[in-house]
Structure 1
Amino acid sequence: MTDATRRPRRSSGRITLDDVARDAAVSPITVSRVLRGERSVDAQLAERVRASADRLGYVPDPAARALASQRSTQVLVLVPMLSNTLFVDLLEAVHRTLFPEGFHPLIGVTHYDTTEEELLLRTYLPHRPAGLLVTGFDRSETARQLIARSGVPCVHLMETSTAPDVACVGFSQTDAGAAITRHLLDRGRRRIAFCAAQLDPRTLQRAEGYRRCLREAGLYDPALEVLSPERSSVALGARLFEEVVRRMPGVDAIFFCNDDIAQGGLLAANRLGVAVPGRIAVAGFNDLEGSDQMVPPLTTVRTPRAEVGRAGAAMLLGLMRGAPTAPGCVELGYELVVRGST
Structure 2
Amino acid sequence: MSKKKSRYAPTLNDVARESGVSAITVSRCFRHPEKVSDAVRKRVMETVEKLGYVPNSAASALASRRTDVIGLLLPSLNNNVYLDVVSGAFDRAHGTRHAIQIGNHKYSPLEEEKLIRIFLQQNPAGLIVAGGEQTEAATEMLREADCRVVQIMDTDVDPIDLVIGLDHERAAGEAVAGLLARGYERIGFLGARMDTRSQKRLAGYRRVIGDSGGEERIATSPMPSSARLGAQLLADLFARYPDTDAVFTNNDDIALGAYLECQRRAIRMPEDFGIVGFNDMDLLEELNPSLSTVRTDRYRMGHDSVDRLIALADTARPEGAAVLDLGHACMWRGTTREA
TM-score normalised by length of structure 1: 0.76
Q: What is the deviation of 1:208? A: 0.7
Q: What is the deviation of 1:333? A: 0.5
Secondary structure of 1:282's counterpart equals strand
Contact 1:82 1:88 in 2 (8 A): yes
Q: What is the deviation of 1:198? A: 1.0
Structure 2 residue 200 is the aligned partner of structure 1 residue 205: yes
Secondary structure of 1:268's counterpart equals helix
Structure 2 residue 162 is the aligned partner of structure 1 residue 167: yes
Match of 2:328 in 1: 334
Contact 2:155 2:325 in 1 (8 A): yes
The 5 Å alignment of 1:61-210 reads 70-161=65-156, 166-210=161-205
Q: What is the deviation of 1:272? A: 1.7
Match of 1:320 in 2: 313
Q: How many residues end up aligned between the 2 structures?
A: 275
Contact 2:289 2:334 in 1 (8 A): yes
Q: What is the deviation of 1:68? A: 9.6
Secondary structure of 1:100's counterpart equals coil
TM-score normalised by length of structure 2: 0.77
Q: For 1:135 and 1:170, locate their aligned partners in 2 and report how far apart those are by CA, in whole Å.
A: 9
The 5 Å alignment of 1:301-312 reads 301-312=294-305
Match of 1:3 in 2: none
Q: What is the deviation of 1:72? A: 0.3
Contact 1:165 1:328 in 2 (8 A): no
Supply the AA of the counterpart residue of 2:312: L
Q: What is the deviation of 1:247? A: 2.1
Match of 2:239 in 1: 246
Q: What is the deviation of 1:122? A: 2.3
Match of 1:293 in 2: 286
Match of 2:271 in 1: 278
Q: What is the deviation of 1:150? A: 2.6
Question: Which sections of structure 1, spanning at least 5 residues, go unmatched?
Answer: 1-65
Structure 2 CA distance for partners of 1:327 and 1:318, relative to 1, 3 Å? farther
Q: For 1:192 and 1:78, locate their aligned partners in 2 and report how far apart those are by CA, in whole Å.
A: 35
Contact 2:156 2:167 in 1 (8 A): no
Secondary structure of 1:101's counterpart equals coil
Q: For 2:63 and 2:123, locate their aligned partners in 1 and report how far apart those are by CA, in whole Å.
A: 13
Supply the AA of the counterpart residue of 2:333: R
Contact 2:65 2:123 in 1 (8 A): no
Q: For 1:157 and 1:237, locate their aligned partners in 2 and report how far apart those are by CA, in whole Å.
A: 26
Supply the AA of the counterpart residue of 1:135: A
Aligned-pair identity (%): 33
Structure 2 CA distance for partners of 1:246 and 1:147, relative to 1, 3 Å? same
Structure 2 CA distance for partners of 1:164 and 1:155, relative to 1, 3 Å? closer
Contact 1:86 1:286 in 2 (8 A): yes
Segments of 4+ moved more than 4 angstroms: 66-69, 162-165, 323-327
Contact 2:72 2:128 in 1 (8 A): yes
Question: Which sections of structure 2, spanning at least 5 residues, go unmatched?
Answer: 1-60
Structure 2 CA distance for partners of 1:111 and 1:162, relative to 1, 3 Å? closer
RMSD, matched Cα: 2.0
Any idea what the Cα deviations from partners look like across 1:169-208, whole Å, max 9, x if unmatched? 1110111000110011101112111000111111111111
Match of 1:12 in 2: none
